[in-house]
């Protein structure tokens, strides 16, 4: 006989019709003798074989006997002696899909963001109590667009399908459908059962991006008197990998080791601007290397920093150091020279002021030269002959003046001009340039007479 495993208890599996040729044939008794795999599975109810216990299809033991229960029905009469008849019974149990699959852990997995295509992230396990045990199928139903992971439908292994990027997405939540297969005498999917479980895949950060400085180029000007404890400037650098720790170091352009890093900030050591001694450069181009971590792999970038230093009179000289070697001793002495460098506006104002002063002096000299014509008139006046002062002579001595009158001109002689005694003694007349008084002078003897 063939019955499903879901046959209820007390259900009649078979009815026996037995007779006894003896007179009292109604006094027959029925019993069942079970073997090891059918113990307590059946019982006799009068001449009916009924189910005494749930029939089990889902066990390795019953599978080993091809899911067939065997028993022996013993029929005994009531005569003397009692006679028996043994009737073998074989009950084949057919499968029924009774149980839905169940997901078992783990349900959380981790994978590095640099995992290549095909990397196994993990394996999802599921059970099914129906025989054949754990005969299930896996499919991913959601959480991927575009697909990033692939699941083997038979084994439940999860593989990397697409590129991962921790900085873009650090976690995935996937809904997995688990269905059982061929667990019923009826073909799937008539009684097929399924279940859903959610798994989480965390993407682990992997150092795969170099640091970025914004801006990558810096330029600044400082005075040489800036305190050595003050920051010249700070580099603005970052890394998209959140676990990275940035470190900074100067790898180029650090002449005389005048600069150092304080975290992401640049500071300086004392400058020396001594024309007669050590004279540091005034322009520097530093190369600052920015490294993202100390573990492998390690990425770095380089920032360029231009620093112009303006020397100042109060600059402290570099500390004198003495280096001793077995062959010779070298001593460096630094000296600070103080000088003054005016601003451009001061030079412009000074030039304009000097030009105006020179123009004013020129105008003053021209005015003085045109207002007092002394030297120019003296030579002219000195060359003029002295005039006779007749009025003065006539007033002082009229008699002598009459005697001195020249005789009337004769008809036989030409007219002769009168001659003054002064004109005979002095032949020139001039004016003193200091007092302004006029005087007569003899050009031969140098004698003078004031008028």
Across 135-293, the runs of DSSP E, i.e. the strands, are 136-142, 149-151, 157-160, 171-180, 194-204, 212-213, 217-223, 233-234, 237-238, 247-252, 259-262, 265-268, 283-291
Q: Could you tell me which CATH class the domain 2-94 is placed in?
A: mainly beta
Name the residue among 301, 255, 98, 289 with its Cα closest to residue 183.
Answer: 98
Q: What is the pTM of this model?
A: 0.52
For residue 31, the model assigns a pLDDT of 93
For residue 156, the model assigns a pLDDT of 94
How far is the CA of 171 from the CAs of 109, 166, 176, 204, 240, in angstroms?
A: 10, 8, 16, 9, 17
- Tens of pLDDT along 99-128? 999 999 889 999 998 899 999 999 999 999
For residue 236, the model assigns a pLDDT of 93
Q: What is the DSSP string of 268-330?
A: EPPP-B-TTS-B--SEEEEEEEEE--SSSS--EEEEEEEEEEE--TTPPPPPP-EEE-SS-EE
For residue 294, the model assigns a pLDDT of 63
**Is 2-94's fold the same as 213-322's?**
yes
For residue 419, the model assigns a pLDDT of 46
The angle subtended at Cα 361 by Cα 355 and Cα 364, nearest 5°, is 145
pLDDT-flagged residues of the chain (< 70): 23-26, 143, 294-295, 313-342, 371-424
All structural domains of the chain with their residue ranges: 2-94, 102-204, 213-322, 375-406+415-450
Q: Domain 102-204, what architecture?
A: Sandwich (2.60)
For residue 368, the model assigns a pLDDT of 87
Q: Is 204 exposed, middle or buried (0-12, 13-18, 19+ CB in 10 A)?
A: middle
DSSP 8-state code for residue 104: E
Homologous superfamily of the 213-322 domain (CATH) = Cadherins (2.60.40.60)
**Which of helix, strand or coil describes residue 346?**
helix
Q: What is the largest CA-CA distance in the chain?
A: 242
Query: For tokens 């499903």, what's the residue?
Result: 4
For residue 149, the model assigns a pLDDT of 94
| Residue 439: strand pairing partners | 430, 450
| Structure-token pair, residue 2 | 């063939």
For residue 303, the model assigns a pLDDT of 94
Name the residue among 308, 305, 310, 311 with its Cα closest to residue 234.
Answer: 305
Query: For tokens 């002959």, what's the residue?
Result: 385
């Amino acid at each position: 006989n063939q019955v499903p495993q879901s046959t209820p208890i007390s259900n009649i599996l078979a009815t026996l019709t037995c007779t006894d040729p003896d007179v009292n044939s109604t006094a027959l008794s029925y019993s069942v003798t079970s073997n090891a795999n059918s113990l307590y599975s059946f019982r006799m109810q009068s001449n009916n074989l009924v189910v005494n216990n749930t029939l089990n299809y889902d066990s390795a033991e019953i599978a080993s006997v091809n899911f067939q229960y065997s028993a022996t029905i013993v029929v005994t009469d009531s005569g003397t002696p009692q006679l028996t008849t043994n009737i073998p019974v074989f009950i084949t149990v057919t499968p029924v899909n009774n149980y839905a699959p169940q997901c078992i852990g783990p349900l959380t997995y981790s994978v590095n963001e640099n995992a290549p295509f095909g990397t196994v992230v993990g394996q999802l396990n599921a059970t099914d109590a129906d025989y054949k045990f754990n005969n299930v199928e896996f499919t991913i139903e959601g959480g991927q667009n575009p697909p990033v992971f692939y699941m083997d439908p038979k084994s439940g292994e999860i593989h990397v399908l697409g590129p991962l990027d921790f900085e873009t997405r650090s976690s995935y939540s996937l809904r997995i459908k688990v269905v059982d297969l061929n667990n019923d005498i009826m073909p799937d999917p008539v009684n097929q059962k399924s279940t859903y479980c959610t798994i989480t895949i965390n993407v682990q950060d992997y150092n795969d991006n170099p640091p970025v400085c914004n801006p990558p180029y810096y330029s600044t000007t400082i005075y040489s008197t800036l305190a050595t404890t003050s920051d010249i400037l700070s580099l603005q650098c970052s890394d998209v990998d959140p676990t990275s720790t940035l470190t900074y170091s100067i790898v180029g352009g650090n002449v005389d080791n005048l600069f150092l890093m304080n975290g992401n900030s640049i500071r300086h050591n004392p400058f020396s601007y001594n024309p007669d001694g050590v004279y540091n450069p005034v322009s520097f181009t530093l190369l600052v290397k920015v490294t993202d971590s100390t573990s492998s792999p390690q990425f770095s970038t380089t920032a360029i920093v231009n620093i112009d230093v303006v020397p100042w009179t109060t600059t402290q000289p570099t500390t004198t150091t003495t280096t001793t070697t077995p062959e010779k001793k070298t001593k460096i002495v630094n000296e600070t020279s103080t000088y003054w460098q005016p601003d451009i506006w001061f030079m412009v104002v000074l030039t304009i002021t000097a030009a105006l002063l020179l123009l004013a002096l020129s105008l003053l000299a021209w005015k003085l030269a045109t207002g007092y014509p002394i030297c120019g008139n003296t030579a002219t006046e000195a060359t003029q002959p002295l005039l006779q002062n007749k009025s003065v002579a006539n007033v002082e001595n009229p008699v002598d003046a009459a005697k001195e009158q020249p005789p009337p001109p004769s008809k036989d002689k030409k007219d002769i001009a009168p001659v003054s005694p002064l004109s005979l003694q002095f032949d020139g007349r001039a004016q003193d340039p200091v007092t302004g008084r006029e005087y007569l002078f003899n050009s031969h003897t140098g004698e003078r007479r004031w008028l």
